[in-house]
Amino acid sequence: MSHTPLLDTINSPADLKKLSVEQLETLAAEIRETIIQTVSQTGGHLAPCLGVVELTLAIHYVFDTPEDKVVWDVGHQSYAHKLITGRRGQFHTLRQYQGISGFPKRAESAYDAFDTGHSSTSISASLGIATAKDLKGDRHKSIAVIGDGSMTGGMAFEALNQAGHLHKDLIVILNDNEMSISPNVGALSSFLSRKLTSKTAVRVKKEMEHFLKSFSNVGENILSVLKKSEESLKGFFTPGMLFEALKFEYIGPLPGHKLENLIEALRNVRDFSTGPTLIHVLTTKGKGYEPAEKNPGDFHGVGPFCIETGLPVPSPPAPPSYTKVFGETLVRIAEQDPRVVAITAAMPVGTGLNDFSQRFPERFFDVGIAEQHAVTYAAGMATEGLLPVVAIYSTFFQRALDQIIHDVCLPNLPVTLAIDRGGLVGDDGPTHHGVFDLSFLRFIPNLVIMAPKDENELRHMLHTAILHPGPAAVRYPRGNGEGVAMDEALQRIPLGTGELLRQGADILLLPIGNRVPAALEAAAGLKKLGIEAAVINPRFVRPLDDALICEWANRTGKVVTIEDNVKKGGFGSAILELFAQKNLWTVRTKVLGLPDKFMEHGTQAQLRSKGNIDGPAIIVEALALCGKDC
């Protein structure tokens, strides 16, 4: 007789509430197995999700979701949440084109209280929800689940500061899988925290306070001494003094994989807390899967892998990634120039700076999840003669726009912005596509913007940017390079100079960055159809090579611009502005770029096709501009 897995019986959190703690422990094991099996095939965030299984079950077991709102910071730990909130049947489509998202998404489920993908936002959002509920007279809870890494973001502390001031009924759960706390101290603190939140303890404490206050000055003095003693004791045994200084009730640290303890503490907070409360939970990243527990960093975000070994699924040999080439080139440049320093925001591996950090530990700075600080920190270094390179994903550079304008470009400081993952990134989806940077950087005075056509050109552009006496940005895509030969010597590219890659009398294809290979592919296809297309690699978005572009626009009379960026305000807009400035009113121009909407998740190839920026799309648009059918 076959056994029906418990997970198959869970269609909503209401089903959880029918289970015993022992059954929840069995369910936790089944959820881990499902997550491992699925992510081994689809790729995704593995270690973070395995670490919060018990916490997820306890939250939904105790609270009345979706009326009680749970906001998952970043959201890369939300897979167990998805499995028990009605998406078990779709879980195999995780991060696949037209499948479920790897992050919380309000359009996907009523249980996803807030769309998240960037870190450090959960407390602000949950405080907003708590404030709205208070104004509406809604007594349901607002809960933020935030990791210790996300707590390095300044926005989290801005929210904590206001939450303490407003004294709203907000619950913040700090999922801590990094801080080292002695097991003995942690166990004692866990015991005290759970017991001191019980109904009896809370009632006795309030009655004692009321009794002492009745004795005029003497009672107040005794109460003051007792409170100071209590705070000193809690400060000695727990790391909660900071949060209590922000007027939060601090509870913890609690063992994050013991369901009985978690459920008891959460129930006590649910029933007796009336102001902002922070619950500190200790978890193990990668819990239940040995390779991920041993190397949680390697299993934070993974592609398909072999479950037995933990090794990636073998793939055909491929050229090095743009990220890897960037990292190797920066090390080479830094070997020759001691003024070069590298800065990143909690992504040393993701941005290719791991080798740099080991080779030059004194010149490498990981500032945590604090992109605004990273840019201004670099600006400060630049005023003292250093040459800082700030390597951050495009989607996260969005957070530092004011710092780029005010602290780097206004004083014209020699800071290099290494913009990784520029363009469509694939299965991480709309929260991570780097498709706005050309638009939000192009209008800033003093800033030079470059985008390489291949990995060899990336090396020369990085060299050029670092040598430039003012601010410069180099924007490159996610994924492997084109497999081109690498020049031995690094060359400095003259500012604002493009290159003519192909001559043609009928039409000019004007791609930027990673769209150059697609444009060359399209030009070859157009030739077979009797159309000769010229192709220019502009190399610079700012300043443009006005002379070269205008010469060939005049020659052909027809231009197609192509970019892996939104059309509005991007490279194509820059070309239209150029033609207007030069009075090239007769040049017919078609701008190819991403549409005015947020692109979903899928492979880069799928999304580039849907966004009308791949080789076949270029051919179709070029033919139309030339007045010919496909």
Cβ neighbours of residue 312 under 8 Å, at least 6 residues apart? 302, 303, 304, 305, 306
Burial-class residue 513 by CB neighbours within 10 Å (0-12, 13-18, 19+). Answer: buried
Selecting among 54, 249, 264, 371, the annotated active-site residue is 371
User: Is 371 assigned a catalytic role?
Assistant: yes
Beta bridge partners of residue 255, listed in sequence order: 282
Burial-class residue 296 by CB neighbours within 10 Å (0-12, 13-18, 19+). Answer: buried
Q: How many angstroms separate the CA atoms of 107 and 120, rounded? A: 21
Q: What token pair was written down for 531? A: 């159309």
Q: What token pair was written down for 524? A: 């070859």
Look at the block and give the residue holding tokens 């990668």.
286
Selecting among 168, 234, 287, 399, the annotated active-site residue is 399
Q: What is the DSSP letter of 529?
A: T
Beta bridge partners of residue 305, listed in sequence order: 312
298-303 contacts at long range (C-beta below 8 A, 24 or more positions apart): 299/46, 299/47, 300/45, 300/46, 300/47, 300/48, 300/76, 301/43, 301/44, 301/45, 301/46, 301/76, 302/39, 302/43, 302/44, 302/45, 302/46, 303/43
Beta bridge partners of residue 499, listed in sequence order: 537
Residues 171, 269: contact at Cβ < 8 Å?
yes
Annotate 9-45 with DSSP letters as a single string: G-SSHHHHTTS-HHHHHHHHHHHHHHHHHHHHHH-B-
Peptide bond into 66 cis (omega under 30): yes
Q: What is the DSSP letter of 289?
A: -
Look at the block and give the residue holding tokens 């009924």.
169
In the chain, the amino acid numbered 69 is K
User: Is 399 assigned a catalytic role?
Assistant: yes
Cβ neighbours of residue 444 under 8 Å, at least 6 residues apart? 404, 405, 409
Look at the block and give the residue holding tokens 């080139």.
329
Which of 557, 79, 151 is CA-nearest to residue 369? 151
Q: How many angstroms separate the CA atoms of 112 and 78, rounded? A: 9
Selecting among 82, 95, 168, 285, the annotated active-site residue is 285
User: Is 285 assigned a catalytic role?
Assistant: yes
Annotate 371-432 with DSSP letters as a single string: HHHHHHHHHHHHHTT-EEEEEEEHHHHGGGHHHIIIIIITTT---EEEEET-B--STT-TTT
In 512-628, beta strands by DSSP E: 533-537, 540-542, 558-566, 588-594
323: Cα separation from own chain's centroid: 16
Cβ neighbours of residue 107 under 8 Å, at least 6 residues apart? none
User: What is the set of active-site residues?
Assistant: 285, 371, 399
